[in-house]
Structure 1
Amino acid sequence: MSGEGVPVRCPTCRRDHVYVPPAYPCACGTPLAPPIQRGAAPSPITHRTWNDTWVTVRCRACGRQGQWPQPELGCSCGSVLKLPVRPVTAPPPPADPLPPAQAPLPNARPPGARARTAFRPRTIRTARDAVTTAALYLTWLGFAGVLRAEPASAFGIDVRGRGLVARVDPTTRPASLKAVECLWLHAMTSSARGVHFSLAGYTPDARRRAEGLCLPLFVLDLTGTPQPVNGAARRLVSTGA
């Protein structure tokens, strides 16, 4: 039930994407991914509530029903898209389950990235989860000494590491131009590399400014899988820290 790409067109900029829903093992061991409703138009997320970020999915192998994170896609235009999922109806005929050892682990590494151990996503349900996920991902990218900033600084720095400062925006509004510029300025004065994460994407002017400053921007989906949304972020994923 995983690995099959679904064509998605962004309703904002009309760019075409291929989305592969992440799969997680069911309790029976079968890899299970939310069934994307083909042909249904995605909708931009402008307001996010925790209660609306889960979908019901039934395992074809054992018939269990469970709550899975709502599939989302970050477009390069800055929009975060909610992808419709087929509703659970009558259970389909069961399929032979795979042994648990064969269940694939989610991997946030895009095609062409440098080989490394697969990143293990962590489901995001709170703002603290978002910061923890960003810290884990930055460690996976190769940054050393990555820790949560306790308390967060007046500059909005949520994560620090050796030669690293990162901001994590868990709000339901796209990150602003001011947020990007403040992070870049603080990184420059600290002789560190700045990285920005956001749950709701970025405003167009924030994206343009980050591109000019070579500041990596990532979008976090609720599965805990960061997605690069600009050239600087894609280069960071490819080369590592």
Structure 2
Amino acid sequence: MAESVPVRCPVCRREQLYAPPSYPCTCGAPVQPPMARSAPQPVTHRTWADDWVSVQCEACGRKDEWPQPELGCACGTVLRIPVAEGATTHGRPAPSLPVHIPLPRTSSSPRPAFQPVTIRSARDAITAVALYLRWLGYRDIRSAEHRTSSGIGLVATGLVAQVEPSLRPATLRDVECLWLTGTAESALSVYFSLSGYVADARVRADELGVPLFVVDLTGTPQPVNSRADELYSAGA
């Protein structure tokens, strides 16, 4: 467990203790971004590059991209916590429960347990899904170049994913548009929603072979259909 460090907000001058989050490396060891001694900076706008940091696992030496440490101040300011030298920023980077009968989960290459991040905002939902996809084996997760009319897109080699972080259930049109995007890219299409799916969207997803997940507020995606169960079991 990392030691808490004092962080002073440059806007209101309030000081509070902050401990960096821990994320699971592929080898199973916990990885925590090392904190720098420089002052935190208010987040005034966001880019994909600024939201991720490359951190090396002390156990196996592997470098992976993890969410840039941030802290919310009581004054409303979001602070970006600087990381120490050696961890450099990288230029890429209540839902309904599933009612289907899950398939047996017998992955041929067992993965360490997924470590979720609690969802308090839309950004948290995107982070949770990105971490989950990386846990499944998609290493080059990055933001889609074009925003869609609904949700936020993530892509990786052989994958297009849609994340709907609002309280609106995903519709049949949402699923079909994602499937068309994946077909054009010759990639697997996967949908993640915080509020589930309308009935005809689930039926259409089964017909098109689109894995559907709901993301609970702990940040853990849960399979909604059999194709999602298969992806969970087999990974990338």
TM-score class, shorter: 0.5 to 0.7
AA matched with 1:117: P
Q: Secondary structure, in 3 states, of the residue corresponding to 2:116?
A: coil
Which of these residues, 76, 87, 104, is aligned with residue 99 of structure 2?
A: 76
TM-fit CA distance, 1:187:
0.2
Q: Contact 1:198–1:218 at 8 Å: present in 2 too?
A: yes
Runs in 1 of length 4+ with deviation above 2 angstroms? 110-113, 148-157
Superposition map of 1:66-215 within 5 A: 74-76=97-99, 112-114=105-107, 115-149=110-144, 152-153=147-148, 158-215=153-210
AA matched with 1:198: S
AA matched with 1:219: V
Deviations 1:76-108 (A, max 9, x none): 27xxxxxxxxxxxxxxxxxxxxxxxxxxxxxxx
Residue 239, structure 1, aligned to residue 222, structure 2: no
Equivalenced residue count is 139
- Provide structure 2 residue ranges, at least 5 long, that are not aligned to the other structure: 1-93
> CA RMSD for the aligned pairs?
2.2
- Provide structure 1 residue ranges, at least 5 long, that are not aligned to the other structure: 1-70, 78-109
Q: Contact 1:165–1:187 at 8 Å: present in 2 too?
A: yes
AA matched with 1:227: Q
Equivalent position of 1:94 in the other structure? none
Counterpart-to-counterpart distance in 2, 1:75 and 1:168: 17
TM-fit CA distance, 1:73:
5.8
TM-fit CA distance, 1:148:
2.7
Q: Contact 2:209–2:227 at 8 Å: present in 1 too?
A: yes
AA matched with 1:112: R
Q: Contact 1:176–1:202 at 8 Å: present in 2 too?
A: yes
Deviations 1:165-193 (A, max 9, x none): 11000111210000000000000001111
TM-fit CA distance, 1:157:
5.0
Q: Secondary structure, in 3 states, of the residue corresponding to 1:158?
A: strand
Change (3 A) 1:172 1:234: same
Q: Secondary structure, in 3 states, of the residue corresponding to 2:210?
A: coil
Change (3 A) 1:223 1:113: farther
